[in-house]
Every structure is written in C-alpha cells, then in structure tokens.
C-alpha cells in the first residue's frame, strides 16, 4: 500500500492524469484491480526488480470503456527514478503476451495522453500502433491498439 500510494501520489508519475491520487484513492485503485480479477480474471500487477524485489510500479490488463465500447487496456506506471530503464516495456510486453496467449484476447489497446511521448514509445515497442484521437474521461487521448490473429484449426484437424 505504501509503495502504490507513493507511486500514485507522485506528481511526475501522474502528470498525464487529472491529478495525483490520495492514499484513499490508491486503496480504491487496489480494490478496483481486485474487482477486475474477480469479475474478469485479470487486473494490475505489481512490478518489482528481479534482483532485489524493489518496487518498480504496476502494470496490467483492465477493462476500459472508450467511445461506447469496452476494450481491454494494457496500462503501466513506473516510479520516477526508475523510468527510462525498459521496465514498463518489459512488463507491458508480458501483459500483451498474457492477453494473447493465455486469455485468448483478439484486441488490446493503450489509452495514452497525447503529450505522453514515453508511454507512446512503450506502446510502439509492444506493437500497439496509433489508431485514433479521442476523448477519454473528458481529456484528450490517443488510442494505440493491436489485433491478435485468431488461431485457426491446425492442419489435419
């Protein structure tokens, strides 16, 4: 809780959100993710360094309504001092693979503020391409997306 509250309360981390979150809102973030697991089988994961278990941030898959349709989004946040080290890309790629290979999803999006160039680069590195501009929760947003091939029958089946 302390690590997540610090992450979500950091003005730099949250610069593309309406504002940093309070400790109570961070608890709500955890509960929202738990609800996602209960209802949909996925949510946000804690991201930690393999070497020592230090908290890096969070990343995962959540359902988001955009322009009247519900989509699975990959989202990622990394502590200010650890940004730029590839952690968001590594975690987001693992989430993309989980969405495709384990959950069998056909489509994955990222909702990104137009000024958030680092997040746009992460999306591109995991093969989500710019799709369109939109408004999300009364703020400008870009939708980056990928569609996974639907597995067909194996030869001879």
DSSP class per residue in the chain:
-HHHHHHHH-TTTTTTSSSPPPHHHHHHHHHHHHHHHHHHS--EEEEE-TTT--EEEEEEEEEEEETTEEEEEEEEEE-GGGTTSSHHHHHHHHHHHIIIIIS--SEEEEEE-TT-HHHHHHHHHTT-EEEEEEEETTEEEEEEEEEPPPP-PPTT-
The pLDDT score that the predictor gives to residue 149 is: 87
pTM listed for this prediction = 0.92
Chunked mean pLDDT (size 10), the chain, 157 residues = 97 96 96 94 95 97 97 98 97 98 96 97 98 97 94 62
The pLDDT score that the predictor gives to residue 153 is: 66
């Amino acid at each position: 809780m302390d690590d997540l509250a610090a992450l979500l309360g950091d003005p730099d981390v949250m610069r593309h959100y309406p504002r940093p979150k309070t400790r109570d809102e961070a608890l709500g973030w955890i509960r929202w993710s738990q609800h996602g697991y209960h209802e949909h089988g996925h949510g946000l994961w804690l991201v930690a360094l393999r070497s020592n278990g230090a908290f890096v941030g969070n990343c995962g898959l959540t359902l988001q309504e955009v322009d009247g349709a519900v989509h699975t989004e990959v989202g990622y946040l990394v502590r200010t001092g650890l940004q730029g080290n590839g952690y968001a890309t590594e975690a987001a790629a693992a989430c993309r693979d989980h969405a495709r290979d384990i959950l069998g999803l056909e489509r994955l999006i990222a909702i990104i503020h137009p000024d958030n160039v680092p997040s746009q680069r992460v999306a591109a590195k995991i093969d989500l391409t710019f799709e369109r501009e939109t408004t999300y929760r009364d703020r400008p947003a870009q939708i980056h997306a990928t569609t996974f091939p639907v597995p067909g029958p194996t030869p001879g089946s």
